[in-house]
Every structure is written in C-alpha cells, then in structure tokens.
Amino acid sequence: MMRIETERLFLREMNMDDYDALYAVLADRDIMQHYPYTFDEMRVRDWIERNMKRYEENGFGLWAVCIKESGEMIGDCGLTLQNIDGEMLPEIGYHIRKDCQRKGYAKEAASAALKWAFENTDYPSFYSYCKYTNEPSYKTAEAIGMHFEKEYPDEANKITHVSVIHRAEK
C-alpha cells in the first residue's frame, strides 16, 4: 500500500470505504463550480473504482488526502494521465473539502504528490489543468513550482488553463 507523509497530512490509496468522505467533496457545488458537473452517487463510486484501477495499471492515481492527527479524509490528490489539448500527459490534480480549504492542505498534498512523481516516474514534465476561471487551482499549481504553459479552447471548460513544471526546472 502506497503512503506519502507530509507535516500535517498523509496520502494513501483510496477505496470504497472512502465513499462518504469523497462524496462530501465531489458532490459539493461550491467546490465543483469550475468542473463540468457536480458528482452524484454513481459518479463518486466510479471515481473511486477508476482510481483503484489506476493504482493497479499505472502504480499511481488520485490518493486519499487525510489529516495525520485524526486520519480523516479531506479530499484527493495525486498523479493521473489526462487528455490535455489532445495529448495524454501526467497531471497533478487535487480536490479539498470546503471547510479545509485556505489552510495550505492542497499545496501540501500537491507538493508531496509532485515530489513522489519526480522520484518514482520518468516523465519529463508534470501538468495541472483547470477551467480558466479556477484561480485557486492554478494558484496552487504555481505555489508548488509550476508556471503557466498555455490556455486552449475546450468543450468542457470553454477555456482550459494549463500549468507545467519540467524535470530540468526541479
């Protein structure tokens, strides 16, 4: 079982026992306002199953973000392969429960996931992408060392904002 520890958090593989905690994040309209849709029960279950499959196939995926002190799951963060402007690229993604935002948890988890990605994969670059209006998301990407790469028109987001960090910059 994969486990990454930071000062206040640990990241671990998620499983179906995480359904309620993840539903509180992905079904929240405020958190998902920049996403093409808010998740329902089926989409949350599919999200967990898809990540469990990614762990088997790729050795990585989105992991459960948990507070070290209590073990409580407050979101997800990790590495996935995503279609970014027509290319399958390694992406650092994150979602943090509303009451836990603005406390540095997304930055702390994303920084740990990026460090893991640099140490455990050979990808030359890592990306984060989001709807162009999702300033908190791309500010988190910048906070872990990424910089603006481009924006492109996209059916789901209207315009997608892409941030990148290259291995040579690390």
Residue 108 has pLDDT above 90, yes or no: yes
pTM of the model: 0.95
Contact call for residues 81 and 62 (beta carbons, < 8 A): no
H or E element in which residue 166 lies: strand 158-166
Q: How much of the chain exceeds pLDDT 70, in percent?
A: 99
Supply the pLDDT for residue 38: 86
Question: Which residues, in sequence order, are bridge partners of residue 151?
Answer: 161
- On the question of pLDDT at 170 being above 80, the answer is no
Alpha-carbon span 157 to 161, nearest angstrom: 9
- pLDDT 10s digits, 45-81: 999 999 999 999 999 999 999 999 999 999 999 999 9
* pLDDT for res 29: 93
b or e along 9-28 (b: 16 or more beta carbons within 10 Å of the residue's beta carbon)?
Answer: bbbbbbeeebeebbbbbbeb
Backbone Cα Rg of the chain: 15
- Residue 119 confidence (pLDDT): 97
What percent of the chain has pLDDT above 90? 92
The whole-number pLDDT of residue 35 equals 87
Tell me, what DSSP letter sits at residue 35? S
Q: Is the pLDDT of residue 114 over 90?
A: yes
Nearest 10 degrees: CA dihedral of 65, 66, 67, 72?
Answer: 140
User: What's residue 169's pLDDT?
Assistant: 80
Q: Is 79 exposed, middle or buried (0-12, 13-18, 19+ CB in 10 A)?
A: buried
| CB contact set of 164 (below 8 Å; sequence gap of 6+) | 125, 126, 127, 128, 146, 147, 149
Q: Is the pLDDT of residue 87 over 70?
A: yes
Given a cut of 90, whether residue 140 has pLDDT beyond it is: yes
Whether residue 83 is predicted with pLDDT greater than 90 in this model: the reply is: yes
pLDDT, tens digit, 9 for 90 and up, residues 2-23: 999 999 999 999 999 999 999 9
Give residues with Cβ within 8 angstroms of 112, minimum separation 6: 4, 5, 6, 9, 11, 77
